[in-house]
Amino acid sequence: MPSIANFLATVPLFKSLDAPERERFAELVREKSYPKGSVILFEDDPGDALFVVRPGRVKVVLLAEDGREVILSLMGVGEYFGELSLIDDQPRSAHVIAMEESSLLVLRRDDFRRRVESSPGVAWALLQELSHRLRRADEKIGNLVLLDVPGRIARMLLDAAAEGDDDLIDKPLTHQTIAHVIGASRETVSRAMRDFQDRQWLTTERRRIRLLNRAALQERAQHRM
């Protein structure tokens, strides 16, 4: 595993910083391990730190009173959550749960603020990344409102494949997980996935999904209801 400083060079929030600055942050973070299924953060917990996934995979979820789960985001190596807590003092807005054994780097808000005060470039990097995330959130909301279920699935698969720059989606995506992300039933997702396979747009390999026809999926993801 690369050193923490080298690893931070792969994280969007830190990669634009120079090497000495990343070294300073590497000295500030602490590494914590979480077993599969454990709750890393509860909704309404105090927001006092940023978390970066090193090895592992987590999900950001909202839980309804009847127990239904809505997945807001799936995160793997190099992705992070809790960045808003670096700016404000508001509580956590969702639960974060380890989907597999995971190791996370933790950066406390007070440590981050001290670095920002001495290096305005860090603040600028954060603003740029927050802007990027807001744009993606707007796009996701638009997809949920305007696309039918197969279109939402196609969009989600294309986005997941783009994260790894490959046709093989490394994140294990069960039909239930996809359903929780796009706001549909598992049965509806399963029907759409079977249709995609019948059309030879994708195939499954050891619980991973490989895209066979990106152009067809891209076209399907543009259909509006």
Q: Which of 4-13, 142-151, 208-217 has the lowest mean pLDDT?
A: 142-151
Higher pLDDT, 114 or 85: 114
Average pLDDT, integer, range 200-215: 89
Is the pLDDT confidence value at 1 over 60? Answer: no
Are 85 and 48 spatial neighbours (Cβ–Cβ below 8 Å)? yes
Number of domains in the chain: 2
**Residues whose CB falls within 8 Å of the CB of residue 66, separated by 6 or more in sequence, listed in order:** none
Query: Domain of 42?
Result: 4-127
Whether residues 53 and 159 share a domain: the answer is no
Q: What is the pTM of this model?
A: 0.74
Is the pLDDT confidence value at 107 over 90? Answer: yes
- Which strands form 208-211's sheet, in the order they lie side by side? 168-169, 208-211, 202-205
Whether residues 190 and 88 share a domain: the answer is no
- Which strands form 102-108's sheet, in the order they lie side by side? 30-34, 102-108, 49-53, 80-81
Whether residues 113 and 24 share a domain: the answer is yes
User: What is the model's pLDDT at position 165?
Assistant: 61
Burial class (CB in 10 A: 0-12, 13-18, 19+), 127: exposed
Most confident range (mean pLDDT) of 6-10, 141-145, 170-174, 220-224 is 6-10
Task: Identify the CATH number of the domain in which residue 187 sits.
Answer: 1.10.10.10
Query: Which two tokens mark 134?
Result: 């807001």
Higher pLDDT, 142 or 12: 12
User: What is the model's pLDDT at position 104?
Assistant: 96
